[in-house]
A and B are shown apart, each in its own frame.
Chain A
Amino acid sequence: MATRHARSAARLMMAPAVILLLGWMLVPLTMTLWFSFRKYLPMRGGDLGFVGFENYVRFVKSSAFWPSIQVTLTLVVGVLVITVVLGILLALLLDQPMWGQGVVRILVIAPFFVMPTVSALVWKNIMLDPINGFFGHLWRAFGAQPVDWLSQASMGSIITIVSWEWLPFSTLILLTALQSLDREQLEAAEMDGAGPIARFFYIMVPHLARAITVVILIQTIFLLSIFAEIFVTTGGAFGTKTLTYLIYQRVLESQNVGLGSAGGVYAIILANIVAIFLMRIVGRNLDR
């Protein structure tokens, strides 16, 4: 019963949100694109004119570029593998009958609500510090030499911190998906003689497939722009400079805006490739 009157009212109600987001997207994006084609050094002469694709070429050719891509991929893939595998196991465990389920659930999801700067600082100092940190004490208690995790196993440490932050998210989503599984289907399979392993791979995994995909895609988008964890722990040292961090350093630390903007365009392209897949899944859901 949508009349023409209702339609124009609807358009009017949507306008503020659409206009704001359009501005938020187009204005900075246009500026980034513009800067990326210029030699722009705010502290050393300002805007020094058009340079074509020079920034794009220089960004890729710089010795920091490929390592940063490698670090980014290691971080994203490492965290994804850990959070998805442990997330499935944890979701299966939390789905079992037990005493105090609600409390355990709260314990498990708590890290998600810890702000990134806090989790990074707490892990850096209170957990991983070789002298006074918890693991340092633990290592000494067993007579072992404490390890300076953040410099000697820097990537592993950061992957651990970030996984700790994101495991609750994957667990919660997989648990939600698991709980929507039809119990009778499982029982039927059991009566037909399917063992626990067969039930897991032939019933649960296919049922969870969509949730797993969603977890992977959403986490990838957030993980590609991990910032605070690196800013606070290593500051990009010890081979932990991600693409995001490299761009941040180019733009704000060395104030080479043209070069940083070209890097920003690369980051946007990378994120969009992931986004296309996510949007497809979410979009399919809308037609339901």
Chain B
Amino acid sequence: MLQFLYFSFSEAITSLWRTRILNLLSLGTIMFAMFILGSFMFVGLNLQNLALDWQKQIQFNIFLTEEITEEERAEIQAYLGKSFFIDTFTYLSKDQARMRFDEKFAAYDKVTEGLEDNPFPASFEVFLLRGTKQQTYTTLKDELSTFGGIEEVYYDEEIFKRLGMFAGFIQMAGWFFGVIVIFSSIFTISNVLKLTFFTRREEVDIMKLVGASRAYIRGPFIIEGVLQGLLGASAGVALVYAGYLAVNHFLTGNATFILGNLEPEFLPLQWVFLILFAGAFSGLLGSLFSLHQFLEEHISYH
């Protein structure tokens, strides 16, 4: 087996080098395909990061009832203090709430002027840790509903849901286009290998005549396809990385109003391996298709 692999690899590498101009075509296609796939993954990942970052800014409000007792308030406060998911929280009394409204909406001071009672409820303003999942919000909300003295737990679910959905959509689109470009890669590799074979059909016939077995004829072609896929995918990932460096450079100091202190993140290592695997796999399929469609009749000893 080792000798077969050694033979196939050495023949495939030699062939790749000797027909490098032709191979550039399939390498370029795979590179482009994997660049598209990687770019979508990169954008999707960073949008999701952005969504998670924004979630930290979303105010999680617990509005308290008029009748809340000191004990009930202390229980809620203790619960919030113990939760792992809460970054910070502050208590806002009824008076503080009214004052804040007056400060923020000074133009509408007449609205509150005539009021004898203070209609603004006391509340806790809660900020969750970055990266906290939506399920955690729901759990927290459910748990808080069991406490006495709470009128309503409110957070802006919609904006965060929409951002999350958008990030998910981008990633889905990435996979969708990814699959399309992977199929186009398979098609291209298959055709390029057929062209490669056309230039080498005489060689294959000679190999057969001097006694090379089927496996020894097919092996180098298959390895050649896999190597083409792997090299193309590596080049694609390298392009995505170049894009990441460019985006990082451009955004530094230019987009703080959107990103805050958030920096773009490159694809995690396991995603990079996934792209490389996708490249190698499409190379494998491409070579198998071309072998199946065209080479079989030449390799067959019948």
A binds B: no
Enumerate chain B interface residues (CB-CB to A < 8 A).
Answer: none
